[in-house]
Structure 1
Amino acid sequence: MASFGKFLKRLLLVLILLVVAFHVLVAGLLLIWKTQPINNSMFMLSHRLTGGTVTQTWADYDAIAKSAKQAAIVSEDSTFSQHSGFDFKGIKAARKKNEETGKASAGGSTITQQLAKNLFLTSHRSYARKGEEAIITVMIETLWDKQRILAAYLNVAEFGNGIYGIDAAAHHYFDKSAANLNRDESALLISMLTNPKYYEDNQGDRRLRNKQSIVKKRMKNAVLP
């Protein structure tokens, strides 16, 4: 029993050291990525490891059309410029909706939370992953300003099979740079984020086009950082 107890203590120590090392790595990458282009993420890495090809080109904040930034905010996180990483009203509303429908369809995640997941975690849902997501969200909000967060989010989001980032998406779908996207194009691309692989081949989907219309109408309400 004594030896088993020692084994458990050693195992716990190893796990703690691994967690600490992971967060040190995250902090180091965030400091580097505060000023340097981000050309990789956990989602991109997973795509490459499964034999896929990744297309992504970094676009600075000022090289992304205003309409694309407005669309991202009104679609994904309307209070992005005001909160510190978490939209507690949105989380409460999502929880209420899930309880009413009996399905975990509404998430309430902010742009910063989604960025934390895309950069360092996976799509696997668990309390442990949500805990890590919360920690990394706080780190991102502490180390980066809002413009950097929004730019990073738009540069690593998936817009199709192996298509990552708003600039790659703009070139793929419209043969133009992210800076030259118009309101219709921006609204469409951001509306695709809920199911990018499906919408890549189903551009005329009624749900997609309805959301595009809604996002476009709400753009003027976006508060940019």
Structure 2
Amino acid sequence: MRQNKIARFALRALAAIAVLHVAFMLFTSVLLFRYRTANPRTTGIMIYRKIAYKWPSNEMRFLPLGKIPKKVRQMVIRVEDGTFYSHHGIIPSALKHAWLVNKQLEKPVYGGSTITMQTARTLFLVPEKSYLRKYLEMIIALEMELILDKDRILELYLNYAEWGKGVYGIEAASRHHYRRGVASLSSDQAVRLVTLLSSPIKYEPYSLNKSAILRSRYHYLSSRFP
């Protein structure tokens, strides 16, 4: 009798999990179909920062992908996801490597996220690191690759990525940090702005040297995009 109760409970739990999965996928896929042509009015990370940290959001400055300098786009892809245009949303080997490193560190530090996964997190989730969030990221990333083309994913990423406290998108970030549009940045300014993507809350373009990781990213980009 006890075993039957446990079995029934397990089946109900599995059914509830399946229903939640379906509901989550329907919700995100409906929005993604809308985002094929419409731009999000807000994102998960914007809502989270506003509620949890009371950060006001700077004015959104959406910039079509074609108006973002090609050199800047190449910089972002080079340091964030070098195989962006050839993978299908997730890179299993990168996720496995991140899991092994995190296991050694005994906390989720590295994510192994592609640009698609980062866009999924930005639009729908929160920045707090957890394995549940990573799992949801992967689901959304696979949906995103099926519903949106690569250029649109990159366009959404560049326009909604977090670039400072209440600063979202590369055009808003450029005007916030340099008082000019991204198309008017010098090569060094663009390199610093792209470098900042790795840690946009703790650092600013001219405090990058305080972080060994950011210094490495800066020198890497500077050597390839003089």
Mean CA deviation greater in 4-13 or 172-181: 4-13
2:222 corresponds in structure 1 to 216
Mean CA deviation greater in 165-174 or 100-109: 100-109
CA contact (8 A) 2:177 2:205 kept: no
Runs (5+) with no aligned partner, structure 1: 221-225
Q: 1:58 to 1:38 in 2, by over 3 A?
A: farther
Larger relative contact order, structure 1 or 2 (CA cutoff 8 Å, min sep 6): 1
Mean CA deviation greater in 44-53 or 7-16: 7-16
Task: Report the TM-score, using the length of structure 1 for normalisation.
Answer: 0.82
1:40 corresponds in structure 2 to 42
Matched residues in 2 for 1:152 and 1:199: separation? 23
Task: Report the TM-score, using the length of structure 2 for normalisation.
Answer: 0.82
Q: 1:162 to 1:109 in 2, by over 3 A?
A: same
CA contact (8 A) 1:52 1:162 kept: yes
Match of 2:57 among 54, 58, 63: 54
CA contact (8 A) 2:193 2:205 kept: no
Matched residues in 1 for 2:224 and 2:111: separation? 20
Q: 1:11 to 1:87 in 2, by over 3 A?
A: closer
Residue 205 of structure 1 and its aligned partner are, at CA, apart by 2.5
Residue 3 of structure 1 and its aligned partner are, at CA, apart by 9.8
What are the within-5 Å matches in structure 2 for residues 62-141 of structure 1?
62-95=66-99, 104-141=108-145
Residue 4 of structure 1 and its aligned partner are, at CA, apart by 10
Match of 2:171 among 147, 167, 174: 167
Residue 182 of structure 1 and its aligned partner are, at CA, apart by 3.4
2:187 corresponds in structure 1 to 183
Residue 105 of structure 1 and its aligned partner are, at CA, apart by 4.0
Residue 210 of structure 1 and its aligned partner are, at CA, apart by 4.1
How many residues matched? 220
SS of equivalent residue, structure 1 residue 48:
helix
RMSD: 3.0
Matched residues in 1 for 2:201 and 2:190: separation? 17
Matched residues in 1 for 2:111 and 2:7: separation? 40
